[in-house]
Structure 1
């Protein structure tokens, strides 16, 4: 009643200020939604961390692409970024998302019958004809290597019944894996209104794609023989990614070109256990700029394992707890990237939530974190938890145990 009376007697000009304040707050929040990466439920449940920024990420080689990013794939650390959250037409880099959904929703051994709609798709092509039959696996190779738009539509229709049904699966999956600033309207990347993604999201999507062995194998292949069902014909699909021939360790992933998107490339390379993913969108020299980004990663950064999920990082005494001492484990491995020669500026800290350590404490409950600090700034962290339950021990329990 008191609150209602106060609101009723409030001066009209105060209502105006409150309304303006709410509008500003909502506008700012929506703006932040588009800029700041948010860890999705999928990432939390599956221990798949979002991308994180290493300090000084804006320094690096001179890049003229409209948007670009360099990510170390194992740790998820961003080492260079330029306009990485800018929404842009992705052209055929769209097919990375298409391939992921195909691998998770389709069956590689299925036989796909080509529809008139698929056969009539414009742009880069596998030269499919209506009524032809080809295996799901062969089509997927043609999509990722030869960039066949007709193959994209054929796969989509086979998996979801229609291309638009498949596109809904693409958008749903993108949100699950943390690509929150993307909207797909087709499976191939031909220019369509409201079809966009970002360099950040493409790096996140590609990093997830490498968790699929078949994705890794196909995007790293220089060429494959695409065979139609029952040996009707065979065509050689040569990878459109030139870096596979020219850059040491290159192992993926996808080109893209349209008049609206410009020249785009998502590239990856692996050397000595370090894997980097570079994305350039609308680049005047996608091969050279991608190579410079990848080489910048290999030349300037080292990868370090801070803790393993199956190894305790600390022990803590629990007052009035049984047991009285418990080991704490990280929820996942914590891999970090450190600039070479600056290892002394990196440190790890264990931070405990003592309120959560008052017994009883459930097994698996979050009771703190282990953090990676670089140049005094917290860059990444992982929750700590006990593997065993800690019961509360009362004084009489200890008294009778002494007896």
Structure 2
């Protein structure tokens, strides 16, 4: 038996990868399981985007390798998007790097800046991939607490009780997944000041700006942010293009150049058709977001009813693609979600997969149509 690499000793298979096999087995056994756990948009991209990719297939160079940095038209579209939506000016030639989804970027950034033994500040609760990738590159995860009492924002006084001399990267994610909490410009100013004080690279993972959020912002709006911060963004949730795998990392030219040194050794460019589709997505008007959010508002109201039926509590002022809810006292997250899976044929995410501070919470996705959510409500109240 060939032994696996030591770097995998502290890395587990992604939770949803494992759990979906269990769900598939239940379905194969005849169980009508409904999945409201995963944020994979079920709504379609714009018809303009679909037409662009169809037309691109016929272009004479569509089958060829593409630039590692994406076509100029795509970088121009990303720059224009950041200017119009966030009032952030970016040089499309040097401050933008298209990615095959922002998840890819997490690995590229980590490989570009972390050495064995370096430390990384990771939110608890937070996206599990931050810790997994940190382990893969043999750096050390230092988890910082997020909690409802502090509106799921970093507590810098608590963080600074640690020795931060070996910390090179701090992952932040606002609007936050899984809680939906948002950061203000003042919150981002504190983050930038903290990063400059300790010489830490802040990476804000920002794919949820426009989902049920009236004030989309970028960390790069803060004066001087480019000195210590970069931002990941994605078309997955904003434009219903999750399976297309297209995103970006933006920030200081030298930092972007360093990330490109990794990326150019990892892939051979993005399919031209996807790039052309993304260009059209960035041209969509605000009507696109308004129509999207009307649908999500109706779905969220049904998820609230589901959580009411489970005697869970939630903050109706928080937006995002998910609803994060506190479960009744005396229960654990995984026990409740397993009970729902095996007794009600409903798959909901336990908060514990996002970290120890997720215990006592569950998360439901809005990427499910109203009829399906109504069926979930009926099953739970039956």
Structure with greater helix percent? 2
Output the TM-score relative to the length of structure 2: 0.28
TM-score, scaled relative to structure 1 = 0.27
Q: Which has the higher contact order (CA 8 A, sep 6+)?
A: 2
